Structure 1
Amino acid sequence: MAERNIVYFDLETQRSFNDVGGSAHKDKMGMSVGVTYSTGSGEYRIYGEAEVNALVDELVRADLVVGWNHVEFDYPVLQGYTIYDLPNQTVNLDMMLDLQERLGFRLKLDAAAAGSLGMGKTADGLDALKWWQEYKKTGNNEPLMNIAEYCAFDVKVTKCVHEFALGHGHLKYHDRGGHLQEVEVDWK
């Protein structure tokens, strides 16, 4: 029997909540870059806005899509491009939503990565928005490459956090007081 194809996924947007009139309009934010890592192919894929249909196809075909707040953020952004009802036409493990149910609050990917892996993110979404503006203004591809690199690193961190949880049955994170905490998870 073939192994399950797990697709780790993240995207960055072209516009902020303020630019589109609030979080109710995620479908108007636009994707600048989307990145996946597929356990089936063992490869990362970087998608620009022009390849959004191929990205959606990869997500729909996956045996499991793993992300961090992708069901309530990334999928609504993609809904601006597709007729698929992504949350209901994909099999998902949204680690942030699962942890929110367990903990009663939203944990940042950075907190889980720092606690469990001793590594954090390289930038944040605001940097990606600045890079997108720079790319649009200058036409220079370097800011676009910065977005792709940042997003690919987030996908790698997401994958590593998931693999840590699979291997240990828990995640570690730093609470607001800076104390290391542990939460049991069953993501097998």
Structure 2
Amino acid sequence: MAEKNIVYFDLETQRSFSDVGGSAHKDKMMMSVGVTYSTANESYRVYGEDEVDELVKELLKADLVVGWNHVEFDYPVLQGYTVFDLPNQTLNLDMMLALQEILGFRLKLDAAAAGSLGMGKTADGLDALKWWQEHKKTGNIEPLMKIAEYCAFDVKVTKCVHEYAVEHGHLKYHDRGGQLQEVEVDWK
């Protein structure tokens, strides 16, 4: 029997919520860079905006798409490019939404990664927006490479957090008071 192809996924946008008139207009935010990691290929893939169709095809072919808030953020951004109804045409584990159901609040990827793995993110989405603006102004490829590197690292962190949860049956995170907490999950 063939191994299940899990695709870990994240993207960065060209525009912020304030640029597009609020969170109701995610489809207008436009993707700057998308990154996947496929367990079938055992490799990362970086997609530019001109490759969104290929990104969507990879997501549709996956046995499971794993991300952090990808169902309510990344997919709506991609809806600006595709007719596919990604949340309903893909099998998803949105770890943030799954944890929100259990905990009653939204946990940041950084909190789960720091608590479970002792590692955090390298930057944040606002940095990626600045890098995109720099790329658009100068045409320099370097800021685009920074976005790709940042996004790929987020995909790696997402993958590591998921693998930890599958292996241990729980995730750890630091609550607002800085105390280490543990939450049971069944994501096998």
Structure 2: gaps (5+ residues): none
Does residue 63 of structure 1 match 2:60?
no
Runs of 4+ in 1 over 4 A off after TM superposition: none
Paired with 1:185 and 1:132, the residues of 2 have a C-alpha distance of: 36
Q: CA–CA distance in 2 between the matches of 1:8 and 1:52?
A: 16
Matches within 5 A, 1:87-102: 87-102=87-102
Task: Find the counterpart in structure 2 of residue 135 from structure 1.
Answer: 135
Matched, 1:82 2:82: yes
**Aligned-residue offset at 1:37:** 0.1
Equivalent position amino acid for 1:39 in 2? T
Measure how far apart 1:48 and its partner are. Answer: 0.2
Cα distance in 1 for partners of 2:71, 2:88 equals 10
> Who is 1:152 aligned against?
152
| SS of residue matched to 1:34 | strand
Q: Which amino acid aligns with 1:102?
A: I
Amino acid at match of 1:48: G
User: What residue in structure 1 maps to residue 51 of structure 2?
Assistant: 51
Aligned amino acid, residue 77 of structure 1: V
- Quote the residue 2:16 is aligned against: 16
Identity of aligned residues (%): 86
Say whether 1:186 aligns with 2:183: no
Q: Shift in Å at residue 43 of structure 1? A: 0.4
Write the distance in 2 (CA, Å) between the matches of 1:140 and 1:47: 17
Q: What is the rounded CA distance, in whole Å, between the counterparts of 1:64 and 1:102 in structure 2?
A: 21
Q: Deviations over 1:70-101 (max 9, x none)?
A: 00000000000000000000000000000000
> How far apart, CA to CA, are the structure 2 residues paired with 1:43 and 1:164?
19
Partner of 1:111: 111
SS at match of 2:27: helix
- Structure 1 residue 46, shift from structure 2 partner: 0.0
Q: How far 1:56 moved relative to its partner? A: 0.2
Amino acid at match of 1:25: H
Deviation at 1:103, TM superposition (A): 0.1
Give the 3-state SS of the residue equivalent to 2:183 in structure 1: strand
TM-score, normalised to structure 2, is 1.00
Please tell me the residue identity of whatever aligns with 1:165: A
Cα RMSD (Å): 0.2
Deviation string for 1:111-158 (max 9, x for gaps)? 000000000000000000000000000000000000000000000000
SS class of match (2:172): strand
How far 1:47 sits from its partner (Å)? Answer: 0.1
Number of corresponding residues: 188
Residue 35 of structure 1 deviates from its aligned partner by 0.1
1:61, CA displacement in angstroms?
A: 0.3
SS in 2 for 1:36: strand
Mapped to 2, the partners of 1:80 and 1:60 lie a distance apart of 16
Partners of 2:80 and 2:48 lie apart in 1 by 15
TM-score, normalisation: structure 1:
1.00
Q: Specify every segment of 5 or more residues in structure 1 that has no aligned partner in the other structure, as ranges.
A: none
